[in-house]
Amino acid sequence: MLRRIDPLFDLDRIQLHRLDKDSTEEDLDAYLRVALENGNTAILSEAGMPAIADPGARLIARAHAAGVRVVPLAGPSAFLLALAASGLNGQRFCFHGYLPRDRHERRQAIQQIERDLQRSGTTQLFMETPYRNQALIGELLRTLSPGTALCVAMDLTQPGEQVRMCTVAEWRRTRVELPEVPAVFLIGVAQ
C-alpha cells in the first residue's frame, strides 16, 4: 500500500506492527508508546477504512485518552466506494460491520436488516471475512426476498475488482462462487 502511494517509499525507515483482533491490551499499550516516542504514526488497513469495523478503533481510543492528536486521512473507503458503485440509495444508508458468525444468529440478523430496509428504504451495508464470503452469500440467497437488490463489491481498488448488482432472484439463477477477497455486501430497494 505504501509503495502504491509512493513507489520510492523507503520501507526500511519505518517500524511495522501488526494490530488485529487478537492484539492484547499490552500490545496496544506498546503501540501507543511507539506513537508517543516517535511522533507521527499511521494505521493502515488491508481493506476498508482503519478503525471502522476494524481493531484500529481500540488503539485510536487509547490515543485520544492519552491526548494524542488523531487525524483521519482521506483515502479509498471500501464501504463508500461500494455504495457509490452499487446504484442503491446513497442518501440514506446504514453500516452494520460484520454479521454474527453463528449461522442461526446471522440469519436472524439478515432478516432484521431486510425488515429495516423494507421499512425505511435505507441501503444496508455489511462485510465479511474473505474466507466466509461464500457462506454469507449462500445465507443471503436463502434468506432474502427475491425482489431485494443485492450488490457484492469485491477487491475494490485492486486489479481484480468486481461489483455485481442485481435482485436476489437474478443472483439465484446463476451459480455463485465468490473468491476469498475483501468484500462489501449491500442490500437495497431495486430501482
Q: Could you tell me the three cell numbers for 154?
A: 469485491
47, 92: one domain: no
Residue tagged 473507503 (cell numbers): 77
The structural domain count of the chain equals 2
Could you tell me the pLDDT band of residue 140, with boundaries at 50, 70 and 90? very high
Average pLDDT over residues 61-74: 84
What is the pTM for the complete model shown? 0.78
Handedness of CA 105, 48, 92, 176 (dihedral sign): negative
20, 85: one domain: no
What's residue 44's pLDDT?
76
Question: 93: domain CATH number?
Answer: 3.30.950.10
For residue 123, pLDDT beyond 90: yes
The domain of 154 spans 78-189
52, 123: one domain: no
Residue 70 in any domain: the answer is no
Q: How many CB atoms lie within 10 A of CB 42?
A: 10
- The type of residue at 168 is V
Could you tell me the pLDDT band of residue 48, with boundaries at 50, 70 and 90? low
For residue 135, pLDDT beyond 90: yes
The β-bridge partners of 126 are 185
Q: Among 18-22, 53-57, 122-126, 168-172, which stretch is predicted with the lowest mean pLDDT?
A: 53-57
184, 98: one domain: yes
What's residue 69's pLDDT?
86
38, 96: one domain: no
